[in-house]
Amino acid sequence: MLEAIYTLGHGRAFRSLQIGRVIRHEQEAFVLHGRLQGEERETAIGLTKDKQGDSKVRIDGTDGHKVAELAHLMPMQLITPEGFTLLNGGPKYRRAFLDWGCFHNEPGFFTAWSNLKRLLKQRNAALRQVTRYEQLRPWDKELIPLAEQISTWRAEYSAGIAADMADTCKQFLPEFSLTFSFQRGWEKETEYAEVLERNFERDRQLTYTAHGPHKADLRIRADGAPVEDTLSRGQLKLLMCALRLAQGEFLTRESGRRCLYLIDDFGL
């Protein structure tokens, strides 16, 4: 049941990245239906996905919708025994944490984030071919404002939710003083345009863009030290739960929308 609900809201399963494993044997696709009961109305949703990974989304009887629309209709948090990778699994997991909040709080975030990923991919490919920075300007002209906007949204979200995270974490881990700091992915007080131009030769040697919002992080410390170096495995799991709960509470307060919690193993 948890797998079905998660898949309906994300277009993919959380236990397996191979879509064929969640489609019944000898069937070409899976079909999921659900009804979301809001305070004022009920919304019917449906998702069909075939073995090639193609999705069809239906909302209130109409086709042609995107999986992102389902995700927006169904804000959910997944809590599993492996979920503490949020804390010790590297910056990409904490970027995803921030981006979940930005996605549900900023209407333009998903489009901006998708365009950013596309431009970074194109820029990295161009780095293998260009010899002068001027040849990259067409990409950077589009990339820079997107990077700055996404970083602003992330910074505002992390600042807005900081008190919620601190209060909730205090209930789970009262013996620690926890702090949170957002790192945007390039030098503070430096324009992103300057960073890209100054690091052109290094990026060209690496064949990828070394600085930017794709390198952002949310640093979490307990009593002044990184939590992954201070907390036990069990304490990390408690902290992960506290952070997920804080996100849901912040979402409800800011938008009036409720968050669905999927708990795979309550014992953790």
Q: What is the CATH number of the domain that holds 120?
A: 1.20.1050.90
The residue segments making up the domain with residue 29 are 1-73
The residue type found at 22 is: V
Domain for residue 268, yes or no? no
What is the per-residue pLDDT for 199? 98
Domain for residue 167, yes or no? yes
As a whole number of angstroms, the distance between CA 85 and CA 227 comes to: 12
Number of domains in the chain: 2
DSSP state of 89: S
Beta strands in 29-173 (DSSP E): 29-37, 42-50, 55-59, 62-65, 76-79
| Average confidence (pLDDT) per 10 residues, the chain, 268 residues | 84 65 69 84 88 84 89 92 88 97 96 98 97 96 98 98 95 96 96 98 98 98 94 94 96 92 76
What is the per-residue pLDDT for 31? 82
